[in-house]
Amino acid sequence: MAFRQLIRLVWGVVGLVGISLALACGWPRYPDFSAEARAYFSAIKANDQPLKAPRTGEWRHENHEPGQTLEQYQELAITRPDSVHRTLYLLPIGHFSPLQKKVLEATRQYLQHFFQLPVTLLAAVPDTFVPKAARRRGIEGQEQLLAPYILTHRLAGKLPPDGLTLMALSSRDLYPKPEWNYVFGLASYPDRVGVTSLYRLQDTRLTAANYTRCLTRLINLSSHELGHMFSLRHCTFARCVMNGTNSLAETDGTPNRLCSECQSKLYWTCRYNNRQRLLALHTFFQSHQLKADASLASRDLKRLPAVTRP
């Protein structure tokens, strides 16, 4: 009896050591990933930046979310892009100046790189798209649109036949419910629709001087909201574009980079070439003078294994 117990104990220890070694080696973390993808995620994980302890008023101080691992994500019923449904649609609502149109087009290009899927910017619809009953005057006297109304009554079920997601980009401010002052954006997971506002991202008016700051905010918020539409929850693992934020200052402190955990979820759903995606994002950041994000992408590129060609 004692001998059998000893054998069981030895096997138990051997099993535990085996599992620990496997996890330390990055296996079986990504069991159905390609060898290229496993090497990519093992390499960039070292560049994940730890989150700082949240201060009063910041998102994680006020909201205690559990996070979402790749394994938890994989258990969800996620709609994958296929040969027909693979276009992300952007619908501008309201009036946009030429510079605002430029920032929308740059955002379209960015999202194409970020998700490695076609992104179409539709023709703008006027403010009357949202009826008076779903508008109000905000505390600063600004016109505001009721974001949940836009999702439920204007976007849900209106995806074009080849559409995977539909996100409105509003020139007006948004509010989520009467007791809230405003919201930057809102998304519906099951309907794969969302809305993001440009209003608060441009420091009252978009000019050549604040264009880059507005662009980095808009690509941050729109990739975040679209991330939700791909069933990504708020990230609690590292500094990441999927971190929850409570204010523009908090958004400004959030990188445009997806941490390795969130990137592995998006890759699992979209199955793109990770290196190509990173190269495209790096080029975008450089050409739009987004220096901090270009530097993060450059650090990731430097960690990638050398490409061997036959």
Say whether 36 is catalytic: no
State the nearest-atom distance from the C-beta of 228 to Zn ion, in Å: 6
Determine, following the binding rule CB under 5 A, whether residue 221 of this chain makes contact with Zn ion.
no
State the nearest-atom distance from the C-beta of 297 to Zn ion, in Å: 15
How many residues can be counted in the chain?
310
Q: Which of 37, 240, 266, 281 binds Zn ion (CB under 5 A)?
A: 240
CA quadruple 223, 214, 108, 45: dihedral sign: negative
Residue 201: burial class (beta carbons within 10 Å; 0-12, 13-18, 19+): buried
State the nearest-atom distance from the C-beta of 250 to Zn ion, in Å: 12
CA–CA distance from 185 to each of 62, 169, 174, 226 (Å)?
Answer: 18, 9, 7, 10
Q: Which structure tokens are listed for 191?
A: 């309907």
Q: Which of 140, 225, 250, 261 is catalytic?
A: 225
Q: Which is nearer to Zn ion, 81 or 194 (CB)?
A: 194
Q: Which stretch binds Zn ion (CB under 5 A): 22-30, 72-80, 204-212, 227-235?
A: 227-235
Q: Which residue has the tokens 């700051």?
A: 213
Determine, following the binding rule CB under 5 A, whether residue 134 of this chain makes contact with Zn ion.
no
CA–CA distance from 40 to each of 34, 104, 222, 299, 303 (Å)?
Answer: 10, 31, 25, 13, 9
For the chain, report the end-to-end CA distance as a whole number of angstroms.
Answer: 58
Determine, following the binding rule CB under 5 A, whether residue 296 of this chain makes contact with Zn ion.
no
Reference 245, options 65, 64, 60; nearest CA is: 60
Q: Which is nearer to Zn ion, 48 or 206 (CB)?
A: 48
Q: How many residues bind Zn ion (CB under 5 A)?
A: 5
Q: Which is nearer to Zn ion, 202 or 220 (CB)?
A: 220
Which residues in 256-275 contact Zn ion (CB under 5 A)? Answer: 259, 262
Q: Which is nearer to Zn ion, 124 or 300 (CB)?
A: 300
Distance between CA 257 and CA 114 in Å, rounded?
9
Determine, following the binding rule CB under 5 A, whether residue 151 of this chain makes contact with Zn ion.
no
Determine, following the binding rule CB under 5 A, whether residue 174 of this chain makes contact with Zn ion.
no
Q: Which residues contact Zn ion by CB under 5 A?
A: 235, 240, 242, 259, 262
Give me the active site residues, please.
225
